[in-house]
Structure 1
Amino acid sequence: HLWAGVAVALSGAASGIFVVIANAWMNAPAGFELVNGRAVNVDPIAAMGNAAALSQTIHMTLAAYAATGFAVAGIHAFLLLKDPANAFHRRALEIALIVAAPAAVLQPLSGDLAARHIAVHQPVKLAAAEAVFRTQAGAPLTLGGWPDVEARETRFAVEIPYALSLLAFHDPHAVVKGLDAIPPEDWPNVRAVHLSFQLMVALGTYLALVSLWVGWLAWRRRDLAHNRWLMRAIALATPMGFIAVEAGWMVTELGRQPWVIYGVLRTADAVTPMPGLVVPFVTFTLLYCFLGVIVAWLLYRQILRSPTVPEWRGFYMRSGSGERGAGSGT
């Protein structure tokens, strides 16, 4: 059973990586030539090794482990607030944090790698994410704010001077291309991309800070389960990883618009004229909603039905003394 779980985990991670590589190709198409509107000299290996593949796969893989780990940790942290001594929830919390905390701490580094890639290869996406309307050297990093596209400015934002140039190019005086260098018809939805990016960064920062808190307490050998403020912070983080992942995909997909394959094929030209797609779309949507409800119910039942102390000891302690202890319920 254990090795079956390992196989599922590895195959799931591998399939996710290949999906992200395919999406990275849409952002940085490679491995083919366009001749008279047709793709020729197709090289699948070169396509898979496109310029965006490495940064996107690292960023998304870490995001998946951080999001899933904190979702599990958050549920058990919430239950530990009611019963801090529960051995099942304590062990589950530890395992989840071993996965989630390192991923959350490393995530900003992978985000820096991804941002430096789009600064060079998709400058319009970076300009929309940071709401940079004007090309400038020493561009500031924008925190928060509401992009006013008509006025070409971002209202209510906090700016850190030179920080965007430093992060994007490792040079505080580097020139960051703004939206003014790009035809308006090639702009994505600036407001949606910027707000999604800010949400992703804010939630990711929260998860990283909680992870550092966990690491500090673990290094000092403190009992995590009896730290109620930490348990509240982890419980609050339960949905944050998944929300951050969705916000990140909003940045990736909306930021590429109006292209479905960046610089090659526009989204408007890729929409299929095939009729009758509404029925399968609605059918599959309802099917996945139904399956989602079933999975949520099964997980809810499984988590709440935590093992008792005798069951826990009987499972993990195989010695004769362990079995006697389990039978006595002490």
Structure 2
Amino acid sequence: MNDFIAARSQMALSLGFHIVFSCIGMVMPFFMAVAHYMWLRTDKAVYKNVTKAWSKGVAIFFATGAVSGTVLSFELGLLWPEFMKHAGPIFGMPFSLEGTAFFIEAIALGFFLYGWDRFNKWFHWFTGVIVGVSGLASGILVVAANAWMNSPAGFNFVDGKYLNIDPIKAMFNDAWFSQALHMTIAAFVATGFAVAGIHALMILKGKNVLFHTRSFQIAAIFGCAAALVQPFSGDISAKDVAKRQPAKLAAMEAHFHTEKSASLIVGGIPDEENKRVNYALKLPGFLSFLAHGDFESEVKGLDQIPAENHPPVAITHYAFQIMVGMGTAMMLISALYFMALWKKKKWLESEWLLKLFVAATPLGFIAVEAGWTVTEVGRQPWIINGIMRTADAVTPMPGIAYSFYLFTAVYVSLACVVIFMLYRQIKMVGKLYDKPQL
């Protein structure tokens, strides 16, 4: 493994690991706040128990996310010094604001964890809401920085120099809204389905049924509502990518030839040598509609993009198909769940519906990882789209492969620790709340 591939692999590993904790950190505090609110309004002990149990999970994920996020900050400077040299002064604002949001989140979480029976009950609840709001803001600010890499703005690039820097325009670039919206909803989908799936499993096992039923209801409603809304944000993102990054869209759909009334490809195996997709289901005109809102519009293919600027087609295409496939599956489960809430109340007590949620536990995070693969791999060979190539930004220092192996071992170890802590937390929940609850 050469140093360039090692640097990219290490960054991909770090991002792939951190994004899980970012999603949970953005969303779980809202679940916690809803359960807390239900306790304050109904005085039912089960909601207080849910709130306390979830708050401990939030603390675990916050600590792990803080560690992995700090590592990412160092990696940007150590692995990509040329990128940070030029980009740092331009998109530094969202990173600095993210740091502020992180500190607010940490303080609010401390107040919430140690504020039981010490603060006014509504102020205590409000500190939990602040944890969620600051976590959400933190995630959106980081996405704004990534969006700048896809849609650079806020400067003039003249003779290899970055002039007339405007950090506000850089932060609110053309891609930030579509990416932030899509990522925020994806976080609710992924976390909602993961939490609902775990509690559904506990219900099927007959353990603390009331506790897990209330937990399941909160997580499932959030996750399912977000899953049904997600296609609308996906449509906004697709049209934005078609406008700004036609090479990424072409790679996502393995769209080799420019054409009008372009077909949307479902599945298939890209054959880059012969410029075709084998074994695919084609929906005539749907790619044109997805990209431009018109079934007859022309969609730019890879044939109009210089070969040296082509993203890796197979990886981008497969990742996109996985993301869409996982999202479609969760949409179908969501439709069934809301149908159960609305018309088919008996379904809510059925094993088959709970088993669907158990099976769907990892789908949201698989979709998130696939979506970030599309975002990052689909931008290649650029680290700053159209301006700086990834190969020109990497550190000249040798031995990056060894760093990649070391960080892989660290992240695997950290994942094992988190899994152990969560497993222990679930067992503790079983011991603490294995009693009738009102």
What SS class does the counterpart of residue 144 from structure 1 fall into? Answer: strand
2:198 maps to 75
Unaligned ranges ≥5, structure 1: 314-330
The answer to whether the 8 Å contact 1:90/1:225 transfers is no
CA distance in structure 1 between the aligned counterparts of 2:182 and 2:416, rounded to whole angstroms: 29
Q: How does 1:69-218 map to 2 (within 5 A)?
A: 69-83=192-206, 86-218=209-341
Residue 435 of structure 2 aligns with an amino acid whose one-letter code is: V
Residues 240 and 172 (structure 1), Cα distance of their counterparts in 2 relative to 1, 3 Å cut? same
Report % sequence identity: 50
Residue 290 of structure 1 aligns with an amino acid whose one-letter code is: S
Question: 1:276-316 deviations in whole A, cap 9, x for unaligned?
Answer: 65666555544443332222222222224331233x33xxx
1:309 maps to 435
Task: Give the alignment partner of residue 57 of structure 1, picking from 168, 180, 184.
Answer: 180
The answer to whether the 8 Å contact 2:208/2:435 transfers is no
Alpha-carbon offset, residue 225 of structure 1? 4.6
Residue 362 of structure 2 aligns with an amino acid whose one-letter code is: P
CA distance in structure 1 between the aligned counterparts of 2:347 and 2:143, rounded to whole angstroms: 35
CA distance in structure 2 between the aligned counterparts of 1:147 and 1:256, rounded to whole angstroms: 18
Question: 1:249-290 deviations in whole A, cap 9, x for unaligned?
Answer: 110011000000000000110111134656665555444433
What SS class does the counterpart of residue 328 from structure 2 fall into? Answer: helix
1:327 maps to none
CA distance in structure 1 between the aligned counterparts of 2:348 and 2:206, rounded to whole angstroms: 9
CA distance in structure 2 between the aligned counterparts of 1:84 and 1:214, rounded to whole angstroms: 22
Residue 229 of structure 1 aligns with an amino acid whose one-letter code is: W
Residue 281 of structure 2 aligns with an amino acid whose one-letter code is: V
Superposition RMSD in Å: 1.7
CA distance in structure 2 between the aligned counterparts of 1:121 and 1:135, rounded to whole angstroms: 16
1:48 maps to 171
Alpha-carbon offset, residue 62 of structure 1? 0.5
What SS class does the counterpart of residue 378 from structure 2 fall into? Answer: helix
Length-normalised TM-score, structure 2:
0.68
Larger Cα-atom Rg: 1
Q: Which moved more, 1:272-281 or 1:237-246?
A: 272-281
What SS class does the counterpart of residue 308 from structure 1 fall into? Answer: coil
The answer to whether the 8 Å contact 1:84/1:226 transfers is no
Unaligned ranges ≥5, structure 2: 1-111, 113-124
Question: 1:176-228 deviations in whole A, cap 9, x for unaligned?
Answer: 00011111111011011001000000000111111111111111261555221
The answer to whether the 8 Å contact 2:272/2:313 transfers is yes
More relative contact order, 1 or 2 (CA 8 Å, 6+ apart): 2
CA distance in structure 2 between the aligned counterparts of 1:66 and 1:277, rounded to whole angstroms: 35
CA distance in structure 2 between the aligned counterparts of 1:10 and 1:120, rounded to whole angstroms: 31
Residue 142 of structure 1 aligns with an amino acid whose one-letter code is: I
CA distance in structure 2 between the aligned counterparts of 1:120 and 1:25, rounded to whole angstroms: 15
Alpha-carbon offset, residue 14 of structure 1? 0.9
Residue 124 of structure 1 aligns with an amino acid whose one-letter code is: A
Q: Which moved more, 1:6-15 or 1:230-239?
A: 6-15
2:146 maps to 23
Length-normalised TM-score, structure 1:
0.90
Residue 222 of structure 1 aligns with an amino acid whose one-letter code is: K
Q: Which moved more, 1:78-87 or 1:150-159?
A: 78-87
Alpha-carbon offset, residue 237 of structure 1? 0.6
CA distance in structure 2 between the aligned counterparts of 1:194 and 1:128, rounded to whole angstroms: 6
CA distance in structure 2 between the aligned counterparts of 1:303 and 1:222, rounded to whole angstroms: 28
1:34 maps to 157
2:353 maps to 230
Residue 135 of structure 1 aligns with an amino acid whose one-letter code is: T
Alpha-carbon offset, residue 77 of structure 1? 1.1
CA distance in structure 2 between the aligned counterparts of 1:203 and 1:245, rounded to whole angstroms: 9
Residue 45 of structure 1 aligns with an amino acid whose one-letter code is: I
Alpha-carbon offset, residue 33 of structure 1? 0.6
CA distance in structure 2 between the aligned counterparts of 1:84 and 1:94, rounded to whole angstroms: 16
